[in-house]
A and B are shown apart, each in its own frame.
Chain A
Amino acid sequence: MNFPILSTLIFLPLVSSFFILLSKDKTKNVSSISISLFSSVATFFLSLFLWYSLDINTSEFQFVEEKSWINNYIKFKLGVDGISILFIVLTTFITPICIISCINSVKVRVKEFLIAILILETFMIGVFCSLDLVIFYLFFEAGLIPMFLIIGVWGGPKRVYSAFKFFLFTLLGSVLMLVAIIVIYWITGTTDITQIYEIQIPKEYQNILWLAFLSSFAVKMPMWPVHTWLPDAHVEAPTAGSVILAAILLKMAGYGFLRFSIPMFPIASEYFTPLIYTLSIIAIIYTSLVALMQDDMKKLIAYSSVAHMGYVTLGIFTLTKQGIEGSIYQMISHGLISAALFLCVGVVYDRLHSRMISTYGGLVNYIPKYSFLFLIFALAALGLPGTSGFLGEFLVLAGTFQKSFLAAMLATFGVVLGAAYMLWLTKRVIFGVTNNSEIKKINDINKSEVVMLVTLAFFILFFGFYPLPLMETFNVSVNSLINNYETALITN
């Protein structure tokens, strides 16, 4: 296949953002919205085509593109395998939904907003496609610029603080990764990860390099105790920003563990497993408890994201087939569910301009369609069987039980807490007594909101009942990941 399909996928949103820049419309931004919607949907179909034509029976990287880049020794190398394709599809699926959501929620500087979202999409797809550490770093960091602007320009009252915290936390985490990348380059003579997989990085370097990568991924994930930027960023970001942040940006770190940390540093990954277990368990239990006490809906969902990401890290570092598969599944499903929940908050926020739980109550009596969808998403978030949320958590716990009974016990306790805060939130917002007279005048969801939420609900239920399409895609890649890890451990 000579056609550079991955480059097209990456740069399509970027090119269309130029068209938006050039487009001139004074009223209602119709042409900007339609260009961005069209291009993002086209990107989505292109990524679906990519998924369809991907050979899932091999763990090799496919659609590989290679161009000489820096002085012939660092190559611009792209490629996908069964794991990354799902994240790419998730990205291209969430972006059009974000664009639809700004029709209702973004009122000022719509054009710039759409450009920022599309540029961000380019960088996000780039992260999941890159097969070279430097390229990965480039895309990973570049995403900070549009996200910083999205939070800062279109955010809430404390947006400046949140945007700064987001930017500086992530940047500080990542610079150590940059040092590690350059050190790897000097050790192995390449930054091409397919070659690094074959060269064993010497034992004495592995631990320190692994920690340098962790510093970046832990902030991005976010893991306890460096998660504090996330609630701030989520609360202040506009709806579309929160959706992208929760659905995709957080997944970069999980993907980073799978793509870089484990295959490149197998010995260190095994050595630091207890550390990750501890941090994950603290994240699951502590942030669930914190989520219980929130009175701001977005903050509650943000803390629940931290807890869900705790399952992801736990699952990845069980280094069992169930654990890793569960983590990937959890990441995809959390991408859908958290996106849906943030959109739901956005819907009521657009109407009453409040995120406080106390403002609402008894919504089911006035906006039944909304309430029904909200209920589905809340139940999915707490992992009800039949929704995609259940399967991920179940597999993670199944994997954990093989390795550490204690960790699994504590994580299971977290599931109960998760049910507690989600159900309590639903009770207070959807059911309960209406104290606020404005709620009586509230409109039910309009057409564009129905499109977004119903699509998400459909996929959440679909993957809850029929996980096979996802499972089949990453099965072989995960197997080879674990095989390589185990052979690496045996040879040392």
Chain B
Amino acid sequence: MDDHVTRDKWDKAAEYFDLMNGLGPEKRWGPHKQNLFSKMKGNVLFLAMGTGLDIQFFPPDQHITGIDISPKMLEQAQLKAKAYPGTITLREMDVHEMDFADNSFDQVFTSCTFCSVPDPVNGLRAIHRVLKPGGELFMFEHTGSRYFPFNLMLNMMTFLTKNFGPQMNRNTDANVLAAGFQVTEIQLIYLDVVKMISAYKPA
């Protein structure tokens, strides 16, 4: 694994991640995430499992492979994964260097992931590779905005946050298309910043 910078950044964040995000953001976004994750079926890959905060919103009896670049994050996810009424296999892995075979998964889910992947288009291309033809990509993400003054604020926030956390001004909608997916739906949750993106890999 080469991306020590990203791994170290999230290893450091692991200690206080649940404290910061476990209450407000999860309570606020929980109903939307639950709705998105209810679409889980077949062989599912969950990208950037983090400390496993999203596991509470997974439908029961699924077989899910969860990956994350940070071993410290995955340590915290272990207990939540064990309590899940289904199967969750956790693996330490960088999205850019996934060792899964081509066309392995029926679905890939992400949750606030592509604000932090260093090379988002190549990360999405890696997802495209491991998805079966016709396989689905479901993303819950925050992105940049095209509306003033929100775009200005997000650019300024990114200047401060990129060294210890996420980038706030990514154009994830365009990145999904650039990686070769067909977008079926973009549902806005807050402004054009927090959104759910549904896409598929053309057969």
A and B associate: no
Residues on B lying within 8 angstroms of A by beta carbon are none
Residues on A lying within 8 angstroms of B by beta carbon are none
